[in-house]
Amino acid sequence: MDLSCLAYPCSRGEVARINKKKRFLFNSLLMSVTSVLVSGIGVWFSLAVSSAIGEEAMGVFQLILSVVSFGSTFACSGIQLAAARLTAKKLGEKKTEESPKERSKKEMPESQVKQ
């Protein structure tokens, strides 16, 4: 990689390429730090709950949590597909409401439309 571009002006393509690399590295670092932070919070939460409710209740909590997670995954799995289908249906209805003749009039300049 040629870093001479940083010392003196260079083409826009080189600047864009360097900016992309910097942005990628920053985002990677941000995701890594966030992942470690969230994992640490999760460990702290588990320890706090475990000490508050005891070992037996913690086992029941983990069992219920796994069932709830499965249910949540199952419930949310179709939402994206349903939204895409409803959007496509609505857009399709709008297109069929206009006849091809009406559409061609909209696309043509007003001076060319026959009355």
Residue 26, C-beta contacts closer than 8 angstroms, at least 6 positions apart: none
Q: What is the pLDDT of residue 7?
A: 46
Pick the range with the lowest mean pLDDT from 45-49, 55-59, 92-96. Answer: 92-96
pTM reported for the whole predicted model: 0.45
Query: pLDDT of 27-41, one tens digit each?
Result: 999 999 999 999 999
Local confidence band at 17 (pLDDT 50, 70, 90 cut-offs): confident
Report the chain's mean pLDDT, rounded to a whole number. 79
* Residue 10 backbone phi and psi in degrees, to 5: -140, -175
What is the full DSSP assignment across the chain?
Answer: --THHHHS---HHHHHHHHHHHHHHHHHHHHHHHHHHHHHHHHHHHHHHHHHH-HHHHHHHHHHHHHHHHHHHHHHTTHHHHHHHHHHHHHHHHHHHS-HHHHHHHHS-GGG---
